Structure 1
Amino acid sequence: MVRPLVWIGARSPGALTLPPADPTPSQLYAPRGVYLDDQTLIVADSGNHRVLIWHRIPDRDGQPADVVLGQPDFYSEGPQAAGRGSRHGMHLPTGVMVIDGRLCVADSWNHRILVWNRVPETSNAPPDRVIGQADLDECEPNRGGGVTGCGFYWPYGIGWVAGRFYVADTGNRRVLSWNSIPEDRQPPDLVLGQNDECSHAENRGEGPSPCSFRWPHAIAGNGTTLYVADAGNHRVLGWTPIPARDTPACLALGQRDFQSAWEMPHTPPGPSALRFPYAVACASGRLIVADTANNRVLMWHTLPRAGVFLPADMVIGQPDFAGNGENRWQAVERDTLCWPYGISCHNHRLAIADSGNNRVIIWDISV
């Protein structure tokens, strides 16, 4: 049985009352992204428009962060558009990831990816470069012009799968991929979900299909399969093998076929349905999905490769597959969830950005 280990963020005062969200080294406000490895915990504290870094995996509740990025100190908050205020401020950061020692942050509402050549050890350290904008002074969608392969509109998610760099360019309804972390204005090696680099219509201007997106939000995978959380279509799509060109997916979790995008808010979800799945993770032969609007996390013990509506093997945050209430419609407890937006899995640890509860919970999933 999985069990929660550490609670990062302020404790709830009880019942359904949320913990305080004032920025401090140990308090969070609606975190949407998280990254975990052997030594490091990194959290996109989205509501406070900052990223927090722990250089050692926390082993006690409420442990304060070591480094803050995007704000001048641990007690400041507020969106900072590039070129207005701080050139390296943030506006709703979401995806966070360390790739070959480099920290990448999806600074989504500044429409850019920020890159540090190493994980910063001092607060408010400026990024070494930016992807998606000409420089750190720019923050307009699609670089202030039309859609191309070198700009973004709300890039919520980033991924590193089989040596390839991926961006969930959510507002442009597509996933972009490069064969390495790109330089500025480097065109993508792959566009998934659109006919070309200049198209951006929802579901390619038609209905859902195995090769279209509504809100692609997160990316994960291994050397064999690529997974994309297509939150707006209430599904996770999968490609086996990892696509080298725009091809239809062979897996659709959460829907009964590739043409459906049903949302079922008032019925027990069961082990197969999804409602706004905003995050996906792949580790140790398991697939893990944040079924955000059902206030739960689902786990498949073996990686699904092809098919539709395949049932999960385990649920976290609810008593069973029928439950979907915020904090189980009871009190904020150590093992409840309210709108989990981000997840990261490393070996036997799972970090969940429990956004609606203003916290991150680290779980032991070794059993």
Structure 2
Amino acid sequence: MGTPRLTAEPLRWLGAPAPGGLALPAARPNRVQLYAPRGVYVDDRAVVVADTGNHRILIWHGWPETDHQPADVVVGHADFEAEGPGLLHLPTGVAVVEGRLFVADAWHHRILIWDALPEKNGQPPDRVLGQPDLDSTEPNRGAEAGPLGFYWPYGFAYVNGWFYVADTGNRRVLGWRGLPDGHGPPDLVLGQPDMYSHAENRGRGVGADTFRWPHAVVGDGATLYVADAGNHRVLGFTPPPDADRPADLLLGQEGFDRAFELPHIPQGPRRLRFPYSAALCGEHLAVADTANNRVLLFPGPPREGMYPAATGVIGQSNFDDSGENRWQAVRRDTLCWPYGLWCHKNLLAVADSGNNRVLVWRLALS
């Protein structure tokens, strides 16, 4: 018997409707419209979206029952019509961890934490990681790279008792045993020889232990996956590391020393171009193959090895095509620069950033 194929059916569309053809949904901030969302979180009680281009977080309490349903709460601004950087500047990763809302406030070089999912518009955060206080926003706390500061932290994850931050601008992943309090140094650095180095690919070229743009982290007790977008690959560490070491799994490239990217050719089921996110969906790893305008589904999920093939694709009708919205129209089953992913039970939420929307797909084995 072959590996069961994971299929996807579009279930819900959050954001404004598309006017037709390749015209994008409207993006002016209000309770419905999104502008280039880059992060999404879904559970049984809420949907949370990083409405990145509008520098805010939108929250739906309860499952949205209709397409284009208005959000219930906005944070980052006092009301739904405000725009521009304020509390938040290009927020990206979002998740609820042990009842707390975490937001990667990337261009303020910090992660903000609300002790409970906000119920009121404009609710301020309760604590911060990566800065000495809630008023500070300088890269690396206004100094050189070190153990307590961030430079463009685009993603984070809480995996098997560890809290990881994709510290993208410092070309590293930091890890803490347990949820950090903002004061203690991390217990782990991946991608650099120490807590003070920050060179791209360690300053010596792409390898099994280097990053260019580590952008998102996901995993379980068996494997830690890092979407290394700038090197057009995903690295897997099996088992999850407790010290810096080379990866055991490589997706998207034929060798650990490769960072190949060539647009406008048939892409196939193995190649990745700027994979900005990943999510574990049962026995599959979903990867946002962002510049190829698709999500690839790898069975297993893969733990070790090099250059495995995906068995499912979302957003394209086959593995060779890569056009934005298939160069046809903004439809329920097309994608344009899918950015953030989140899996919950049989649901896969996609921050379809180029289409100013979030799509939720129902997954099924066939």
Which residue is equivalent to 1:64? 70
Which residue is equivalent to 2:40? 34
Distance 1:152 1:352 in 2: 26
Corresponding residue SS for 2:157: strand
Distance 2:204 2:226 in 1: 19
The answer to whether the 8 A contact 2:37-2:358 is kept is: yes
Corresponding residue SS for 1:168: strand
Distance 1:29 1:119 in 2: 22
Which residue is equivalent to 1:291? 289
> Does 1:16 find its partner at 2:14?
no
The one-letter code sitting in structure 2 at the alignment partner of 1:56 is G
Q: CA deviation at 1:37?
A: 1.1
> Does 1:262 find its partner at 2:268?
no
> Does 1:355 find its partner at 2:361?
no
Distance 1:200 1:69 in 2: 32
Distance 1:345 1:94 in 2: 16
The one-letter code sitting in structure 2 at the alignment partner of 1:218 is A
Distance 1:63 1:310 in 2: 39
The answer to whether the 8 A contact 2:109-2:153 is kept is: yes
The answer to whether the 8 A contact 1:235-1:276 is kept is: yes
> Does 1:169 find its partner at 2:167?
yes
Structure 1 residues 156-305: aligned runs within 5 Å: 156-305=154-303
The one-letter code sitting in structure 2 at the alignment partner of 1:291 is D
Distance 1:181 1:154 in 2: 20
Distance 1:252 1:57 in 2: 36
Distance 2:253 2:63 in 1: 36
Q: CA deviation at 1:57?
A: 1.6
The one-letter code sitting in structure 2 at the alignment partner of 1:55 is H
The answer to whether the 8 A contact 2:281-2:348 is kept is: no
Distance 1:250 1:345 in 2: 24
The answer to whether the 8 A contact 1:349-1:366 is kept is: no
Q: CA deviation at 1:186?
A: 1.2
Which residue is equivalent to 1:50? 56
The one-letter code sitting in structure 1 at the alignment partner of 2:204 is E
Which residue is equivalent to 1:85? none
Q: CA deviation at 1:185?
A: 2.9
Corresponding residue SS for 2:364: coil
Corresponding residue SS for 2:165: strand
Cα RMSD over matched residues? 0.7
Which residue is equivalent to 2:4? none
Q: CA deviation at 1:266?
A: 1.8
> Does 1:134 find its partner at 2:132?
yes
Corresponding residue SS for 1:365: strand
Which residue is equivalent to 1:309? 307
Q: CA deviation at 1:366?
A: 2.3
Corresponding residue SS for 1:209: coil
Q: CA deviation at 1:197?
A: 0.4
Distance 1:95 1:278 in 2: 11
Unaligned runs of 5+ in 2: 1-6
The one-letter code sitting in structure 1 at the alignment partner of 2:352 is D
Q: What is the TM-score when the length of structure 1 is the normalising length?
A: 0.97
Which residue is equivalent to 1:90? 88
Distance 1:283 1:117 in 2: 27
Distance 2:32 2:300 in 1: 35
Which residue is equivalent to 1:344? 342
Distance 1:185 1:228 in 2: 25
Corresponding residue SS for 1:366: strand
Corresponding residue SS for 1:176: strand
Moved more, 114-123 or 271-280: 114-123
Structure 1 residue ranges, 4+ long, deviating more than 3 angstroms after superposition: none
Equivalenced residues, count: 359
The one-letter code sitting in structure 2 at the alignment partner of 1:308 is M
Q: CA deviation at 1:59?
A: 2.1
Moved more, 91-100 or 277-286: 277-286
Distance 1:282 1:35 in 2: 13
Unaligned runs of 5+ in 1: 81-88
**Correspondent of 1:329 among 304, 323, 327:** 327
